[in-house]
């Protein structure tokens, strides 16, 4: 359809411009305005339509490539997601069976996760990262005394149903539904097997999930925009994948 509109605009406005320029009518402001407007529209409208045609072809090729290969997980999935978002393309949507979302709110990730909130509102970054790594590594062990001391910085981890949309993260557990708006995220850090979110209105939150890298990509995209995806230091390996 954009291609047809572009061709029609080129022919129609081009014909008006030619007819106006070749007319024997006396020169006037109205004639000049019609001539210049027709020429501008004959160039501008097809150019805009061509842009949307190229974008549609690019999107279809990307969707075909995604459909032709097996589902990606972990860092590979995050790398694909980063590439799509940095090109202005939204990823494929899914459904969150046990989480209610807005009717106009697409869901990109819906997976179980483990969430832990820090006990301090604004801990030092170095301490925050160290204790977050300790928490992730110690989930399958009893921990040595030093580890147990580091874990006291965090509230007890809890299992949740987790969903990521185009505007927020949604968490549902036995206590109900909570959300984290992308606008409230002020920093994103990747930890092995988890993503650490520093928030403006509440203590930092650690999300432990098999799709942690993808959650980090969505957090940066939603809070800082497309350009930030290519600057974030934790995404160097994802950009190379």
Q: How far apart are CA 193 and CA 94, in angstroms?
A: 22
Of 69, 100, 119, the residue at which a domain comes to its end is 69
Buried b (16+ CB within 10 A) or exposed e, 149-184: ebbebbeebeebbbbbbbebbbbbeeeeeeebebee
Within-domain flag for 126: yes
Residue 180 and residue 205 in contact, taking contact as beta carbons nearer than 8 Å: yes
Domain that holds residue 116: 85-240
Shared domain for 200 and 123, answered yes or no, is yes
Within-domain flag for 76: no
Looking at residue 239, its pLDDT comes to 78
Within-domain flag for 120: yes
Of 37, 69, 101, the residue at which a domain comes to its end is 69
Within-domain flag for 171: yes
Shared domain for 199 and 106, answered yes or no, is yes
Within-domain flag for 80: no
- Give pLDDT tens digits for 108-156: 999 999 999 999 999 999 999 999 999 988 765 555 545 666 788 999 9
Looking at residue 187, its pLDDT comes to 96
Looking at residue 69, its pLDDT comes to 43
Shared domain for 229 and 147, answered yes or no, is yes
Shared domain for 97 and 17, answered yes or no, is no
Shared domain for 54 and 91, answered yes or no, is no
Assign 3-class secondary structure to 17-58: HHHHHCCCCCCCHHHHHHHHHHHHHHHHHHHHHHHHHHHHHH
Residue 183 and residue 170 in contact, taking contact as beta carbons nearer than 8 Å: no
CATH number at residue 179: 2.30.29.30
| pTM as predicted | 0.69
What backbone torsions phi and psi does residue 133 show, to the nearest 5 degrees?
-60, -40
List, for the chain, all residue ranges whose pLDDT scores fall below the cut of 50.
Answer: 66-72, 145, 241
**Token pair listed for 27:** 């020169």
> Could you give the number of structural domains in the chain?
2
Assign 3-class secondary structure to the chain: CHHHHHHHHHHHHHHHHHHHHCCCCCCCHHHHHHHHHHHHHHHHHHHHHHHHHHHHHHHHHHHHHHHHCCCCCHHHHHHHHHHHHHCCCCCCCECCCCCCCCCCCCEEEEEEEEEEEECCCCCCHHHHHHHHHHHHHCCCCCCCHHHHHHHCCECCCEEEEEEEECCEEEEEECCEEEEEEHHHEEEEEEECCEEEEEECCCCCEEEECCCHHHHHHHHHHHHHCHHHHCCCHHHHHHHHC
Looking at residue 33, its pLDDT comes to 75
């Amino acid at each position: 359809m954009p291609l047809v509109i572009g061709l029609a605009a080129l022919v129609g406005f081009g014909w008006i411009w030619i007819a106006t320029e070749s007319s024997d009518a006396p020169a006037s402001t109205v004639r000049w305005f019609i001539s210049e407007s027709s020429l501008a529209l004959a160039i501008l409208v097809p150019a805009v339509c061509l842009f949307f045609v190229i974008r549609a072809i690019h999107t279809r090729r990307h969707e075909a490539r995604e459909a032709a290969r097996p589902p990606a997980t972990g860092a590979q999935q995050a790398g694909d997601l980063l590439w799509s978002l940095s090109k202005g393309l939204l990823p494929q949507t899914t459904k969150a069976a046990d989480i209610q979302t807005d009717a106009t709110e697409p869901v990109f990730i819906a997976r179980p996760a483990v969430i832990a909130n820090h006990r301090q509102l604004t801990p030092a970054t170095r301490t925050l990262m160290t204790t977050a790594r300790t928490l992730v590594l110690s989930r399958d062990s009893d921990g040595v005394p030093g580890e147990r001391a580091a874990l006291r910085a965090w509230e007890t981890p809890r299992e949740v149903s987790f969903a990521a949309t185009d505007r927020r993260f949604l968490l549902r557990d036995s206590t109900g539904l909570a959300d984290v708006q992308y606008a409230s995220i002020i920093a994103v850090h990747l930890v092995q097997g988890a993503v650490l979110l520093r928030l403006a209105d509440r203590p930092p939150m650690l999300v432990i999930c098999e799709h942690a890298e993808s959650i980090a990509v969505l957090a940066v995209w939603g809070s800082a925009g497309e350009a930030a995806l290519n600057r974030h230091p934790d995404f160097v390996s994802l950009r190379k994948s």
